Chain A
Amino acid sequence: MKTEIKEELIEMDSILSKFDNEKVFLAPDDYYDRMQNAVLKKIENDGKSQQRIIRLSWIMGIAASLALILGIVFMMGRTSTKQNALSIEEVYEYLDENVDMLDDEAITNIAKDYNMNFDDFYYSDDLNEYLEENIDDISEEDLEQIF
């Protein structure tokens, strides 16, 4: 026992000054080698798990970026499609201006392309107005074809 420690115990009048201060807890034989191996193995396994997590994070990051890019491209595509499409009002305007030159088949095709209700055109106010203004010039046969 170190002198300093012993003298302190003597000063305290302690019986412990009479004992040797050998460590009282001893590990089993070969314990420390086994313990070191177990620790190194756990550290190695932790390292592999961390590498797997890092790889997975990379993959998820790339996948998320691709999804974002695709989403943006898709949205831009939809927007530009919308910009190129004619509005229903524009279609009506075209039909109004060109009604003399279009036959029934052409009007039907246009209506189908723009998902228009065929009746919307034929029963529109513009058509009614046209018919009223031109009623005298439209034959019964033409009227039957229209309706």
Chain B
Amino acid sequence: MDITDERILELIKNEKTLNEGFKLLMTKYQERLYHHIRSILKNHEDTDDVLQNTFIKVFKYVRKFEGRSNLYTWMFRIATNESMTFLNKNKRSSEFISDIQIENTKKTQFNQSELDGEKIKKVLQGALQKLPVKQKEVFSLRYFEEMSYKDMSDALGTSVGALKASYHHAVKKIEAYVTQLYAY
């Protein structure tokens, strides 16, 4: 979608075009937010609940949005908080890949020929579920959304150095997971 955030905010801040502006906002960012929430919560139904709650919260506060960060990183933080609240409320937990598991993984040849597009998606889905939430966030933003470390720092309130380290660990853990499944 080509419409700029400035234009969307202009529409939202006008009472007459509020609904139109908000629909455009949802359309522009719904897929990215869905993917981010889904990478934390695992299933579609929970993701749907949290995504709706996220947009309701966005609607409530967007007219007061001051533009200190960019619009997407602001909504991203709301989505992350809503996801964490959901996880805590429902006492969900993930089984994480530990650093020990990475060390214990033999360095083997990775049999890439076994992996086609769909398999890769499924494998990455599984691998993402094994990451701690923070690493999941960082990996999703960097690998899937191709966000710069500067923007990520604004979104997550973490230093660029810490983010780079977190991404590095996340990549290694995913590799370990994939290699365990498909190595020879």
Contact = CB atoms under 8 A, between A and B. Distances in A.
Interface of A: 1-2, 4-5, 9, 12, 14-16, 18-25, 27-28, 31-32, 35-36, 38-40, 42-43, 46
Main secondary structure, interface of A, reads helix
Contacts of A35: 26, 30, 48, 51-52
Given A14-B171, A19-B120, A25-B125, A32 B31 contact: yes
B44 A21 contact: no
A22 B121 contact: yes
Contacts of B59: 39, 43
Top 9 A-B pairs ranked by shortest CB distance? A25-B38, A24-B121, A39-B55, A2-B146, A24-B124, A24-B125, A23-B35, A25-B35, A14-B171
B112 A42 contact: no
Interface residues of B, number: 40
A15 B26 CA distance: 34
Contacts of B117: 20, 22
B144 A23 contact: yes
A18 B30 CA distance: 28
Main secondary structure, interface of B, reads helix
A27 B112 contact: no
Given A5-B146, A16-B171, A35-B30, A24 B128 contact: yes
B110 interface: yes
Contacts of A14: 171-172, 175
B71 interface: no
